[in-house]
């Protein structure tokens, strides 16, 4: 049985039971007796060991977003006395599956738990993960029923995209392109939904020509700029679903005679450090990397103690810099 069942039986919170079984909380004799009676009644037994060695499975390190997420997770883990082994899946489902299975079954990895960042969004990788192996999905949610039994923490991609698009609308833009991520990823679909909802709420029709889908890569950003500039009625602003895509667009702009933000306003997504290195500095929707990392480790602790898996969505912050122009003349 789970910690949640014990908590219900004892009439206390799940976190109280979790901290108690890990020896992190002193309780009154009466409350402790209720919890112990509930553990016996539900057949729950506390885990015999806590997590000491954690696997972080990441798609790649070439994309600065994943490198900075890895740094945030390892920093948070080291503050808790955890050792972290980093595995790179190259964004391939077969490799994701193999690494996850190796971690969950030992396989020479020596880890007690895993935090998994997917680039495929497929829950098929979970098929070989034992129910009692502490496993937390971070950043990219997984599709399919197998994912429902696993803890997840990510950012609110829909709301972040809605904020970015609404801000561009507030600056007078009406032709706003969305350079979207891969359609098979839930994060990309949520960012597209946020963009479309903002346009609909502003009473604007959606122009399919203004939505371009592709990988989260700098080269895709460069090619996307060329494509939107060739349109008969080009956009005055772009919301890119990834900072690395936006950086690619900014780098290609001079080759197309495009001035940012005079000719084209640009907002990215992720808040990577490299966005501050381009000229003009990139406006972006900032992922709360430190909080994502801390929450992922909190969930590792909780599920290792028997808590029911939960889903956490964290808010994002819109950070405006020089890549967005002031109000357009038509907006005044």
Examine residue 100 and state whether it is found in any structural domain, yes or no: yes
The Cα 305–Cα 49 span in angstroms is 9
pLDDT digits (tens, 9 = 90+) for 262-290: 999 999 999 999 999 999 999 999 999 99
Same domain membership, residue 215 and residue 325: yes
Average of per-residue pLDDT values in the chain = 92
Same domain membership, residue 199 and residue 274: yes
Same domain membership, residue 220 and residue 199: yes
pTM (predicted TM-score): 0.83
Give the residue-averaged pLDDT of 62-71.
Answer: 96
Same domain membership, residue 61 and residue 28: no
Residue by residue, DSSP assigns 64-111 as HHHHHHHHHHHHHHHHTT-EEEEEE-TT-HHHHHHHHHHHHT-TT---
Domain at 120, CATH number: 3.40.50.2300
pLDDT of residue 182: 95
pLDDT confidence band for 330 (50 / 70 / 90): low
Give the residue-averaged pLDDT of 106-129.
Answer: 90
Same domain membership, residue 297 and residue 149: yes
319: closest CA among 257, 256, 268? 268
The Cα 136–Cα 256 span in angstroms is 44
The number of beta carbons lying within 10 Å of the beta carbon of residue 172 is 17
Q: Which domain holds residue 275?
A: 157-287+318-331
Same domain membership, residue 188 and residue 273: yes
Same domain membership, residue 162 and residue 265: yes
Same domain membership, residue 97 and residue 33: no
Please state the length of the chain: 332
Residue by residue, DSSP assigns 151-162 as EEEEE-HHHHHH
Looking only at the bridges linking them, the beta strands covering 317-319 and 283-286 are: antiparallel
Token code pair at residue 10: 């004892």
Same domain membership, residue 82 and residue 186: no
How many domains does the chain fold into?
3
Examine residue 180 and state whether it is found in any structural domain, yes or no: yes
Same domain membership, residue 116 and residue 36: no
Same domain membership, residue 239 and residue 213: yes
3: closest CA among 32, 42, 48? 42
pLDDT of residue 316: 97
CB 179 within 8 A of CB 238: yes
**At residue 331, does pLDDT exceed 50?**
no
Same domain membership, residue 94 and residue 127: yes
pLDDT digits (tens, 9 = 90+) for 189-248: 999 999 999 999 999 999 999 999 999 999 999 999 999 999 999 999 999 999 999 999
């Amino acid at each position: 049985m789970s910690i949640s069942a014990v908590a219900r039986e004892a009439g206390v919170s799940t976190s109280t039971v979790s901290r108690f079984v890990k020896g992190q909380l002193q309780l009154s004799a009466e409350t402790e007796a209720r919890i112990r009676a509930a553990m016996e009644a539900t057949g729950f037994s506390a885990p015999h060991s806590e997590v000491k060695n954690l696997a972080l499975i990441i798609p790649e390190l070439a994309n600065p977003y994943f490198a900075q997420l890895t740094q945030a997770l390892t920093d948070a883990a080291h503050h808790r006395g955890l050792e972290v082994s980093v595995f790179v899946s190259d964004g391939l489902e077969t490799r994701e599956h193999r690494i996850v299975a190796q971690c969950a079954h030992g396989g020479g990895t020596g880890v007690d738990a895993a935090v998994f960042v997917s680039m495929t969004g497929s829950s098929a990788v979970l098929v070989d993960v034992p129910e009692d192996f502490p496993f937390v999905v971070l950043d990219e949610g997984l599709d399919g029923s197998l994912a429902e039994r696993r803890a997840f923490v990510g950012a609110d991609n829909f709301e972040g995209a809605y904020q970015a698009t609404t801000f561009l609308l507030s600056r007078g833009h009406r032709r706003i392109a969305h350079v979207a991520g891969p359609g098979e990823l839930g994060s990309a679909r949520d960012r597209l939904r946020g963009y479309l909802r903002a346009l609909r709420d502003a009473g604007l029709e959606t122009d399919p020509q203004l939505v371009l889908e592709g990988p989260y890569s700098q080269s895709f950003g460069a090619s996307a700029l060329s494509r939107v500039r060739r349109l008969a009625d080009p956009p005055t602003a772009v919301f890119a679903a990834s900072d690395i895509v936006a950086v690619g667009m900014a780098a290609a702009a001079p080759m197309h005679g495009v001035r940012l933000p005079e000719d084209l306003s640009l907002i990215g997504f992720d808040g990577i450090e490299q966005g501050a290195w381009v000229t003009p500095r990139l406006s972006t929707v900032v992922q709360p990397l430190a909080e994502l990392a801390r929450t992922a480790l909190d969930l590792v602790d909780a599920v290792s103690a028997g808590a029911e898996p939960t889903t956490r969505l964290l808010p994002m912050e819109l950070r405006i810099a020089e890549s967005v122009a002031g109000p357009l003349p038509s907006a005044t």
